Amino acid sequence: MSDLIATMVRPLQRSRRVALVAGLALGLAGVGLPQVAAAQSRVELPDFTELVEKVGPSVVNIRTMERSGRAAAGPGGSGIDPNMEEFFRRFGIPLPGGRGAPRGGGQGEDEPQQRGVGSGFILSADGYVMTNAHVVDGADELMVTLTDKREFKARVIGADKRTDVAVVKIEATGLPAVKLGDVGKLKVGEWVMAIGSPFGLENSVTAGIVSAKARDTGDYLPFIQTDVAINPGNSGGPLINLRGEVVGINSQIYSRSGGFMGISFAIPIDEAKNVADQLRVSGRVIRGRIGVTIAPVTKDVAESIGLGKPTGALVRGAETGGPADKAGVEAGDIITKVDGKVIEKSGDLPRIVGATKPGSKATLQVFRRGSYRDVTVTVAEFEPDAPVKVAHSDAAGPSAGAKSALGLTVSELSESNKRDLKLRGGVKVDAVDGAAARAGLREGDVILTLDNTEIADVKQFLAVAAKAEKARAVSVMVRRGEWVNYLVIRPAR
C-alpha cells in the first residue's frame, strides 16, 4: 500500500502533496472520494520557491559604517556583534560599553567601522534602492551588497523619518528591479513573504499571512500587520505577495523581549512609493498642514452630540493664525470630510491633508453643535508648530460660584481670561462631584458647550443644566489648558 501512495503522489506539484496524502489517509479510513477531494482543496499550501528565485536577486544587504571615533564599541570594547547594533538602536537599548568605547586592533580614528545592518530592494535598473530611514540614519558610509556578491558604495538621495522611508543610489546599471503591487487588492489572511538580512544573515526568507490592514501606529502610515518573522536586519526589506509583487517595506515589530513575537508591521508600498518619488526629485517630502491638534471620536461622544457613529477627527485645538484658525475651524469641531474624502478615523486626517499640495484650497466638512457645515481652508506646507500661548488665571480670582444639578460649581470667566483663551464665552469649573466627577471633569476646566448648546455665561449654563433630562447622558465640550475635548455626564444608575 505504501508503494501505491508514493506512486500516486510523485507526479503532483509539491504544494499539493500534503493535501493528497491527508486525503488518502482519510480514504483508507473509510471516507469516500468526495470527502478526499474536499480535504485536498482545503489544505493546499503555497510553494515559495519560484517567488524566491524571481524576487531574491532584487533584494540587497545594506551595511552602515561610521568613523571609528564615533562608532559603537566592538571587539576589544563591549564585544557586541556589529549586526546587533541596528537592533539596539531601533529599540532604544543602550549599547554595552557605551558608544565611543575604545576599539581594539589599533585602528586609526578615521577608519570606518561597521555600525549596523539592514535590507533594501532595487527600485530601478539604474541603481535606486529603497530602504528604511532608520537603517541609514547617522551613517558615514553605506555599503550595498547584491545577491551575486558585488558590493557598491551608496549615497543617500533622501530620507523621510516621518514615514521611515529612504532612497539610496548605487552606481550600477542593468539591475533586476522589483515589481510593485496594488495594496488595495491585498486581503487579510493572504500569504506574504519577506526577504532580508536578519542579524546579518543575507537573503533569509520567511513567510506568513497578512494579519490586518490600515493598522494605525503613526501619523502618516496605515501599516500592514503580518505574522511574518521579522528581526533586526530585516528592516527595509520587501514584503512580497504570491504574484511576486512588493506590497510593503518591513519596518517595525511589536515585542516585549526584543525579538520576534508574531507581530510585525510593513509600510504600504503605495505610501512608500509616493515618498520615494518626492525624495528622488527634491530630496525631501513636501506635506500639507492645516494647523490642528486632533483626537479620536468615541462612541459615547458621537451618540451624545448627535453625530451618530464614531467617525471623523475631533479638533482639540487650532493653531493661532494657522490655516484652520483663519478658515474659522473651532476647537470642538469634528472634521468628517476633506474634499469629499471621508475621515473614518482621526488618523485619516493627517494622511489626507499631508498628501494635499501646499497652497491649494481644501473644503472641510465639520460637525458643529448638531449640524454640518463646509469650511474652505488654504493648506500650508508642513513645518514645526508655533508655540501656543498658555492662558493664565486672572489675578483677581474667580467670581462666586454657582452649583448646578449636574454636580458642577461654575463661575464666570473674566474678560482677561477670555482674551487669553480667545473665547467668546464659557464658564469656569470651580468644584466637581457626583456624575460630573465620574465623567472626568476637573476643577479649572472651562465648559464651552453643554448638551450641544454654546454657553455664554453662568446664567445660561444653569438654565441648560436645569432643562437637561436627568435620565439621559449629557455631552460637555471642555477646554483644559490649550486643548478641547468632549466628555459625557451620565446619570447615576
Catalytic residue from among 58, 68, 119, 134 = 134
- The one catalytic residue in 235, 251, 264, 304 is 235
Reduced DSSP (H G I as helix, E B as strand, rest coil) percent helix, strand, coil of the chain, to 5: 25, 35, 45
For residue 299, how many C-alpha atoms fall within 13 Å in the half-sphere facing its CB? 0
φ, ψ of residue 170 in degrees (nearest 5): -115, 150
For residue 402, the model assigns a pLDDT of 67
DSSP state of 364: E
Rounded to 5 degrees, φ, ψ at 136 are -100, -5
Q: Is 15 a catalytic site residue?
A: no
What single string gives the DSSP state of each residue in 121-170? EE-STTSEEEE-HHHHTT-SEEEEE-TTS-EEEEEEEEEETTTTEEEEEE
Closest CA to 422 of 298, 330, 309, 308: 330
| Domains (range + CATH), the chain | 2-45 (no CATH), 57-170 (2.40.10.10), 189-282 (2.40.10.10), 289-381 (2.30.42.10), 402-489 (2.30.42.60)
Spot the catalytic one: 58, 119, 164, 430: 164
Q: Span 210-229, mean pLDDT?
A: 82
State yes or no: 392 annotated in a binding site.
Answer: no
pLDDT tens digits along 346-373? 888 988 998 888 999 999 999 998 899 9
Percent of the chain with pLDDT over 90: 35
235 is in an annotated binding site: yes
User: Which grid cell is 188?
Assistant: 487579510
Residue with more model confidence, 125 or 12: 125
Give dist(CA 194, CA 200) in Å, integer.
Answer: 15
**Is the distance from CB of 379 to CB of 357 less than 8 angstroms?**
yes
97, 85 Cβ separation under 8 angstroms: no
DSSP labels for 293-346? EEEEPPHHHHHHTT--SS-SEEEEEE-TTSHHHHHT--TT-EEEEETTEE--ST
405-431 burial code (b ≥16 CB/10 A, e <16): ebbbbbbbbbeebbebbeeebbbbbbe
Quote the pTM value: 0.62
- Let me know: does 336 contact 314? Beta carbons within 8 Å: no
Strands 446-450 and 427-432: what pairing?
antiparallel
CB 119 within 8 A of CB 236: yes
pLDDT, tens only, 302-337: 988 899 899 999 998 888 889 999 999 998 999 999
Percent of the chain with pLDDT over 70: 73
Mean pLDDT of 214-237: 82
**394 included as an active-site residue:** no
Give which of 51, 66, 68 is closest to 15, Cα–Cα: 51
Tell me if residue 164 is catalytic: yes
Integer CA distances (angstroms), 257 to 91, 93, 231, in order: 10, 11, 12
